[in-house]
């Protein structure tokens, strides 16, 4: 088992990573302060892992709230359902919410925990690679508004994150690859050695070799933790985590969040960020090729489909701009392993990158 | 104008108290960081003060959200309405929510601000005496759940509190008295001199003499701030603020929050806490008499009506007990001006106090 601590003073917490951790009662016993637990999961995950988790929690008074699977249930209404259950079950401030599932379950459960009686404990048991390497660290919780993703939320740190790598065995290949996009991102934004390690180990990763996967997760969580510890409430440095995301969000928005998974859009966004960095003279042709190649080996798309409209994509980025107080910010790379924030890049360069991406010529 | 600072490190904020502060643009300009403001108010307050506030905010882009008046609108649904407005108006993280109204508007606005994009600024402009002396300090925000008051919420400090004592001119006498119950509470729990000052100045207070009222508000806010600064997230000392509230909540619960205003229930609760303290040998007969007399001079009820069932009241306190992890906690007084927390008082004594209160014989 690998372990790291996210060091946030009084809000510090451990992340445990390893095979079959769902069957380790002592990990849960340490993380859960009271007797009562409400497990939040969905109807796709429950048949797979709920029974074994309940067996592990035999010494607790565990109740279960099963929601339908899907991003469309990441809503205030679902949070309300959780609050209804907590109140009906007489859960007091000593209760613990336990999120068993992917990012939707994790974000929703964290938000429900943040607001129940002004804040109760929660423990993350992420079951997708994306949730394991992304939402495990950072304390961002929230739900969607009909007009915007994650518009309603809170910063609320979990008491512990327990990552059972066995849960990845049931993950669809496309979902697994989507998680790898974020893993590769950590190499690109701050750690050239890790990027090299990923290049050397992509076959074992794609074969889901448990030790290699655990090491990739641990490294990703550690990379994110370093950034979050320096900037808990997202005032500055944390913006670097958005590498690939300004482009990625625009792609998701133009395709109404339907055609691509978030990680897939991020993968395309990373290639576009690399291309823009090259046009700015910050990255060379060979590096752009390495980035594109590694994403492809991870089973990820590197370009949007040719039917995408470049003006629509640019407009979507400008909408992002409006919400950021008039400034468009893109994270670019100065060599592999070093990211920086660029404010208001030349629109001409952006257009070139977008056109090249759509043409598949990056 | 009186002023004090609630000192909470990075979350510190000023409280301004005085006549006609609604017409002081510089106070608002300092408190509001961006250009955009969303004023949240209700349909009783809006006709009275909204125009003058909008005139004061002429240099900002101020929008208005007017909700119906009443505790029944302190809900997640009302918060959702505020979020709808914020999103429709393209408010970003630099926006400021401004709560113009009593405790319901303040708590709801604070909660909406705490959760919009994981936390935006808010400014309190409390227009009732209760909100001015109670919710101005403490950072407790929240909404009600159909099964429990304030069950959904967050700790979120305002950027500033601006108390215009002129807004009290339109407050109903019963509401004004209800606010005085909390003012008197601050004397009882920590400051015998202030209690003496209230005894000496109750006539001027009831006549709403601006300077006397401002001084009472300032002293109350300062008293609460001292306790909150020592215990921001309610782990210990802050429990003393519940003096009179365990009894008061039981009275409110048994009467379904309809017969009495919160402050009136607290007034009766203070008399009961005094009686219990006397039975415990911590307060003498004369002190109980002074407490009861001062509350009566403030236009407050000192006893529940004779039709109240003592067993129902005791049961309501036991329900409170369940939610507190099996322990019943009552704040008692060791002399006027000194409060302490008593865990699991003898039920026999509680019964005697409850019976005496209902019989009107305290």
**CATH for A187:** 1.20.1090.10
pLDDT of residue A136: 85
3-state secondary structure of A211: helix
Strands of chain A, DSSP E: 2-6, 13-18, 36-42, 61-67, 96-101, 121-126, 140-145, 148-155, 160-164, 329-333, 339-343
Q: Are residues B91 and B181 both part of a single domain?
A: no
Q: Are residues A152 and A216 both part of a single domain?
A: no
Which residue of A lies nearest to B113 if distances are taken between CA atoms? Answer: A152
Residue B101 is given by DSSP the state E
Q: Are residues B215 and B349 both part of a single domain?
A: yes
Q: How confident is the model at residue B324 (pLDDT cuts 50, 70, 90)?
A: low
H, E, C per residue of A126-140: ECCHHHHHHHCCCCE
Q: Are residues A104 and A185 both part of a single domain?
A: no
Other beta carbons less than 10 A from residue B322's beta carbon: 12
Concerning whether A63 is annotated as a catalytic residue, the answer is no
Q: Which residue among A94, A118, A142 places its CB closest to the CB of B154?
A: A118
Which residue of A lies nearest to B35 if distances are taken between CA atoms? Answer: A325
Number of compact structural domains in chain A:
2
Q: How far is CA B134 from the centre of its chain?
A: 3
Q: Residue B341: is it exposed, middle or buried by C-beta count within 10 angstroms (0-12/13-18/19+)?
A: middle
Last residue of a domain, one of A170, A203, A218: A170
Q: How confident is the model at residue A32 (pLDDT cuts 50, 70, 90)?
A: very high
Nearest-neighbour CA in chain B from A232: distance (Å): 12
pLDDT of residue A105: 98
Mean pLDDT score of chain B: 94
Is residue A32 within 8 Å of residue A123, measured between CB atoms?
yes
pLDDT of residue B236: 72
pLDDT of residue A234: 65
3-state secondary structure of A174: helix
Residue range A216-258, pLDDT digits in tens: 999 999 999 988 888 776 667 888 999 999 999 999 999 988 8
pLDDT of residue B323: 54
Is residue A49 within 8 Å of residue A21, measured between CB atoms?
no
Q: Are residues B105 and B181 both part of a single domain?
A: no
All residues of chain B having their beta carbon less than 8 Å from the beta carbon of residue A111 are 115
- Percent of chain B clearing pLDDT 70 (strictly above): 97
Q: Are residues A34 and A55 both part of a single domain?
A: yes
Q: How many residues does chain A have?
A: 362
- In the predicted model, what is the mean pLDDT of residues B84-94? 95
Residue range A44-58, pLDDT digits in tens: 999 999 999 999 999
Is residue B189 within 8 Å of residue B150, measured between CB atoms?
no
Q: Is the pLDDT of residue B234 over 70?
A: no
Q: Is the pLDDT of residue B173 over 90?
A: yes
pLDDT of residue B275: 98
3-state secondary structure of B61: strand
pLDDT of residue A63: 98
Nearest-neighbour CA in chain B from A75: distance (Å): 11
pLDDT of residue A325: 62
Nearest-neighbour CA in chain A from B260: distance (Å): 24
> Out of A199, A234, A340, A352, which one is annotated catalytic?
A234
Could you give the dihedral angle defined by the CA atoms of residues A353, A354, A356 and A359, in that order, rounded to the nearest 10 degrees? Answer: 170
Sign of CA dihedral B219, B221, B225, B228: positive
Q: Is the pLDDT of residue A335 over 70?
A: yes
**Poorest-pLDDT segment among A320-324, B156-160, B357-361:** A320-324
pLDDT of residue B175: 96
Q: Are residues B145 and B177 both part of a single domain?
A: no
Q: Is the pLDDT of residue B133 over 90?
A: yes
pLDDT of residue A173: 97
- In the predicted model, what is the mean pLDDT of residues B285-306? 96
Q: Are residues A150 and A180 both part of a single domain?
A: no
> Out of A16, A185, A262, A279, which one is annotated catalytic?
A262
Is residue A264 within 8 Å of residue A178, measured between CB atoms?
yes
Q: Is the pLDDT of residue A324 over 90?
A: no
Q: Which residues of A make CB contacts under 8 Å with B?
A: 76, 80, 83-84, 87-88, 90, 92-94, 111, 114-119, 140-142, 145, 147-148, 151-155, 233-234, 322-325
Last residue of a domain, one of B170, B195, B228: B170
- Token look-up 């060979």 returns A286
Q: Are residues B106 and B198 both part of a single domain?
A: no
pLDDT of residue B30: 96
Which is nearest to B273 in space by CA: B256, B291, B261, B286?
A: B291
- Cβ separation B145–A87 shorter than 8 A: yes
Rg of chain B taking only CA atoms, in angstroms:
20
Is residue A117 within 8 Å of residue A93, measured between CB atoms?
yes
pLDDT of residue A233: 67
Which residue of A lies nearest to B321 if distances are taken between CA atoms? Answer: A92
Residue range A245-301, pLDDT digits in tens: 999 999 999 998 889 999 999 999 999 999 999 999 999 999 999 999 999 999 999
Could you give the dihedral angle defined by the CA atoms of residues B40, B44, B47 and B52, in that order, rounded to the nearest 10 degrees? Answer: -50
Concerning whether B321 is annotated as a catalytic residue, the answer is no
Last residue of a domain, one of A106, A139, A170: A170
- Percent of chain B clearing pLDDT 90 (strictly above): 86
Q: Which CATH number belongs to the domain containing residue A20 in this structure?
A: 3.40.50.1970
- Cβ separation B117–A153 shorter than 8 A: yes
Residue range A183-204, pLDDT digits in tens: 999 999 999 999 999 999 999 9
Q: Are residues A326 and A221 both part of a single domain?
A: yes
All residues of chain A having their beta carbon less than 8 Å from the beta carbon of residue B147 are 84, 87-88
Mean pLDDT score of chain A: 94
Q: Residue A210: is it exposed, middle or buried by C-beta count within 10 angstroms (0-12/13-18/19+)?
A: middle
- In the predicted model, what is the mean pLDDT of residues A130-155? 93
All residues of chain A having their beta carbon less than 8 Å from the beta carbon of residue B76 are 76, 80
Q: ipTM beyond 0.85?
A: yes
Nearest-neighbour CA in chain B from A90: distance (Å): 7
Question: Domain containing A339: what range?
Answer: 173-359
Report the C-alpha gap between B52 and B324 in whole angstroms. Answer: 44
> Out of B159, B219, B224, B303, which one is annotated catalytic?
B224
Nearest-neighbour CA in chain A from B137: distance (Å): 16
> Out of A245, A278, A292, A303, which one is annotated catalytic?
A245
- Cβ separation A92–B325 shorter than 8 A: yes
Q: Which residue among A114, A148, A323 places its CB closest to the CB of B154?
A: A114
Nearest-neighbour CA in chain A from B321: distance (Å): 11
Residue range B137-151, pLDDT digits in tens: 989 999 999 988 899
pLDDT of residue A228: 86
Concerning whether B91 is annotated as a catalytic residue, the answer is no
Q: Note the pTM of the prediction, 2 decimals.
A: 0.92
> Helix B347-359 and helix B262-279: axis angle, to 10°?
120
Other beta carbons less than 10 A from residue A47's beta carbon: 10
Backbone angles phi, psi at A149, to 5 degrees: -75, 140
Q: Are residues A157 and A209 both part of a single domain?
A: no
Structure tokens at A81: 């359902």
Residues paired with A37 in a beta bridge? A62, A96
All residues of chain A having their beta carbon less than 8 Å from the beta carbon of residue B116 are 151-152
Q: How many residues does chain B have?
A: 362
> Out of A224, A278, A292, A303, which one is annotated catalytic?
A224
All residues of chain A having their beta carbon less than 8 Å from the beta carbon of residue B139 are none
3-state secondary structure of A34: coil
Residue range B260-279, pLDDT digits in tens: 999 999 999 999 999 999 99
Q: Are residues B165 and B203 both part of a single domain?
A: no
């Amino acid at each position: 088992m690998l372990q790291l601590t996210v060091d946030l003073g009084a809000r510090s917490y451990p992340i445990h990573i390893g095979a079959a951790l769902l069957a380790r009662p002592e990990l849960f016993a340490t993380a859960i302060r009271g007797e009562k637990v409400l497990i939040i999961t969905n109807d796709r995950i429950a048949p797979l892992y709920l029974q074994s988790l309940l067996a592990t929690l035999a010494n607790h008074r565990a109740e279960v709230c099963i929601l339908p699977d899907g991003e469309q249930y990441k809503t205030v209404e679902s949070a309300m359902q959780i609050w209804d259950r907590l109140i009906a079950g007489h859960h007091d401030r000593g209760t613990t919410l336990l999120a068993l599932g992917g990012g939707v379950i994790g974000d929703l459960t964290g938000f429900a925990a943040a607001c129940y009686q002004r804040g109760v404990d929660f423990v993350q048991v992420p079951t997708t690679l994306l949730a394991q390497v992304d939402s495990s660290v950072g304390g961002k919780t929230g739900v969607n508004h009909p007009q915007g993703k994650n518009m309603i939320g809170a910063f609320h740190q979990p008491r512990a994150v327990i990552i059972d790598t066995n849960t990845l065995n049931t993950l669809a290949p496309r979902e697994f690859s989507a998680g790898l996009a974020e893993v590769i991102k950590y190499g690109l934004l701050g750690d050239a050695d890790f990027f090299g390690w990923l290049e050397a180990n992509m076959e074992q990763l794609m074969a889901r070799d448990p030790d290699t996967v655990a090491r990739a997760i641990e490294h990703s969580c550690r990379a994110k933790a370093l950034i979050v510890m320096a900037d808990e409430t997202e005032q500055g440095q944390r913006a670097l985590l958005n590498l690939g995301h300004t482009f990625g969000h625009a792609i998701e928005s133009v395709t109404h969040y339907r055609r691509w998974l978030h990680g897939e859009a991020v993968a395309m966004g990373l290639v576009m960020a690399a291309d823009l960095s090259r046009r700015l003279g910050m990255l060379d042709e060979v590096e752009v090729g390495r980035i594109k190649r590694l994403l492809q080996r991870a089973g990820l798309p590197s370009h949007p489909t040719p039917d995408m409209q470049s003006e629509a994509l640019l407009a979507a980025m400008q909408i992002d701009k409006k919400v950021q107080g008039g400034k468009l910010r893109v994270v670019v790379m100065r060599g592999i392993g070093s990211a920086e924030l660029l404010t208001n890049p030349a629109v001409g360069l952006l257009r070139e990158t977008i056109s090249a991406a759509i043409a598949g010529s990056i």
